[in-house]
Chains A and B, each alone.
Chain A
Amino acid sequence: MSAPSQTQNASLPASGLRKFWSDFSESPTAVIALFVFFLILFIAIFAPWVSPSDPYDLTSVDIMNSRLPPGSEDFSGNFYLLGTDGAGRDMLSAIFYGLRVSLGVGALSGFVALIIGAALGLSAAYFGGRFETITMRIVDIQLSFPSILMALIILAAFGKGVEKTIIALILVQWAYYARAARASALVEKNKEYVEAAHCLALGNKRIILSHIAPNCMAPLIVVGTLQTAHAISLEATLSFLGLGLPITEPSLGLLIGNGFEYMYSGDFWISIFPGVALLITIVSINLVGDQLRDMFNPRLQK
């Protein structure tokens, strides 16, 4: 388990690394969740190498093999652990590739939303005044709409597609980061080290970026973890509805949607297994996020 702890702590000083891990490993559930998450991450990154076959290589996919139940074998001796879908693709491979798309979209949108939200939230807290009032008003208004509705409005208005889905997810999420960043920056900006930086006549940009921002990272990491799980779930929902990713980028949501029509004839595996993969991903990220939140919560600190 040493590898995950190092990756987790890449941004923290080396001395804090050991303490971080000992705090984190207090919850065995969270350690298991973290392990599962890294396994999923590994599968997603190396999908082309760990998959039994390439589900989108038309030369290897045979329509004759469509809708084989889990654990069956075709005439050429290929084994399908989780069965095949309506086009004869191996479900296990399709899920591995789907994880790649789902995690990629979730992580990318989360990262951009973090940058935009943190930039606005930190500046709002630092500069205050009218800029803060207007920014936070927009945040409040946006948070009063359910995320599914915001995404629906954006995608209904601008159409589906990879970049549009990512934009929709960013627009849905940035407000959460902005709120978290502002809340912690409001506390940080009155501390002595910021005052010292002012006395050194450092520029605003430098004070925000290299003094305040690093000290606001903890809550942002927590929000980021939980929001990424939320974004993955939302993307799956939108793709299932046919509003999110196009058929050329088959995410888990799209796989579930494709299997939906076959379910009435009893071919449950086409829909169920991608859903299980989605659920494991979301739950493992949520459990890691919950543990991080408890660790960073000053009221629970010993």
Chain B
Amino acid sequence: MTAFILRRSLQSIIVLFVMSLIVFVGVNLVGDPVDMLINPEADQAEIDRVIRDLGLDRPVSEQYWYFVVNAFQGDLGRSFIFGEPALKLIIQRMPATMELALFSLLMAVVFGIPLGIYAGLKPNSKVSKTIMAGSILGFSMPTFWVGIILIMFFSVSLGWLPSTGRGEVATYFGITSSIFTLDGLSHIFLPAFNLALFKLSSVIRLARAGTREVILQDYIKFARAKGVAESRVVRVHLLKNIMIPVVTIIGLEFGSLIAFSTVTETVFAWPGMGKLIIDSIYNLDRPVVVAYLMIIVVIFVTLNLIVDILYSVLDPRVRIKGVS
């Protein structure tokens, strides 16, 4: 067990190192930030001073070394545009992204499970077939285009819901979020639904498959024979048993929601870290781009490591296969 964890941790460190190298060297080959950040009317002395301040005159290898040393001290560079530490900028925007991802996860579960159970209980009804066709469409439709359709329909044509920004935020128990205000809720609804759509399709499929499997089990038959009301069979006996795989998968896929929020945040101008990275790429704000990519890689590598370890605890075969 310890050997397994050690080997996986070592592997994670290698992945982190390779990623940091790719990201750093790659970003250093893009454009020339000197042209973009220095006033064209500045004299040579001024240009030299800024280049020295930003460390742009050093060789790339040396810049990388400083980057690694500083990264371990929590310093991922200073934004060229905002003049603030890149890490601070990203952490400031992280709650908005987390809030969006969590809210859409909630939506996927709240809408997906009843629809999936219904499709599983009555697999041949017209409604079920519509639900399943809808879930195929949900898989096929590109997220950004659905977002545009949602804005066009609900914001531009009907004028029901706002399409940009986070709205009013309020703070309770030390958490600042827009879900505590009515205005904030109206702002989060469309982007969260957009982000949830893809996951919604998988939840529907999982819930349907689970329902069709569980419904044949003896305890369901027994509950029915005992005369338990059908609604109670579904709510208690069925729901509890299909939740396990659904929750597992949803938990594992939380990371991909954060990755996909880049797209949704751009469409809905949601002030999260996904929008920050896209803006920073446009502006060639290298420290922010590098810092974002490193943070997201760290998040993913950590998530994957935790999942791997959890799996090996739950299923020893994973561990044994890893040894061979």
Contacts and interface: CB of A to CB of B under 8 A. Distances in A.
Interface of A: 137, 141, 144-146, 148-149, 152-154, 156-159, 229, 233, 236-237, 240-243, 253, 256, 260, 263-264, 266, 268, 271-272, 275, 278-279, 282-283, 286
B30 A282 contact: no
Contacts of A286: 136, 139-140
A237 B142 contact: yes
B31 A241 contact: no
Given A159-B30, A242-B282, A266-B156, A144 B300 contact: yes
Nearest to B307: A144
B140 A229 contact: yes
Query: What band does the interface of chain B fall in when counting residues whose beta carbon is under 8 Å from A?
Result: 35 or more
B144 interface: yes
Contact of A278 (B136, B145, B152): B145
A260 B300 CA distance: 31
Contact of B26 (A157, A256, A263): A157
Contacts of A282: 140-142
A256 to B, nearest CB: 6
B256 interface: yes
18 contacts: A144-B304, A145-B259, A146-B260, A148-B262, A149-B256, A149-B259, A157-B22, A157-B27, A158-B29, A233-B142, A241-B263, A242-B282, A256-B144, A263-B156, A271-B148, A272-B152, A282-B142, A283-B136
Main secondary structure of the interface of A (DSSP, over half): helix
Contacts of A152: 259, 262, 277, 293
Interface of B: 11, 15, 19, 22-23, 25-27, 29-31, 136-137, 139-145, 148-149, 151-152, 156, 255-256, 259-260, 262-263, 266-267, 277-278, 281-282, 289, 293, 296-297, 300, 304
Contact of B152 (A137, A153, A263, A283): A263
Contacts of A144: 300, 304
A162 B316 CA distance: 46
Contacts, number: 115
Contacts of B267: 260
B148 A275 contact: yes
Q: Pick from A153, A256, A271, A286 the residue with the most CB of B within 10 Å.
A: A153
A260 B148 contact: yes
A157 B23 CA distance: 5
Given A149-B259, A156-B289, A271-B148, A241 B266 contact: yes
A57 B250 CA distance: 49
Nearest to B25: A157
A158 B19 contact: no
B278 A242 contact: yes
Contacts of B256: 146, 148-149
A237 B145 CA distance: 8
B89 to A, nearest CB: 16
A174 B307 CA distance: 24
A279 B137 CA distance: 9
Nearest to A149: B259
User: What 9 A-B pairs are tightest by C-beta distance, nearest first?
Assistant: A157-B26, A149-B259, A146-B256, A275-B145, A159-B30, A146-B259, A158-B26, A144-B304, A233-B142
A243 B274 CA distance: 13
A263 B281 CA distance: 24
Contact of B263 (A229, A237, A264, A275): A237
Q: Pick from A158, A241, A243, A266 the residue with the most CB of B within 10 Å.
A: A241
A153 B140 CA distance: 23
Contacts of B282: 242
A266 B152 CA distance: 8
Q: Pick from A146, A157, A260, A278 the residue with the most CB of B within 10 Å.
A: A157
Nearest to B289: A156
A56 to B, nearest CB: 23
Contacts of B277: 152, 156
A256 B144 CA distance: 9
Given A145-B259, A243-B281, A256-B145, 17 more contacts: A141-B304, A146-B260, A153-B293, A154-B26, A157-B289, A158-B26, A158-B29, A159-B29, A236-B145, A241-B278, A263-B151, A268-B156, A272-B152, A275-B142, A279-B140, A282-B141, A283-B136
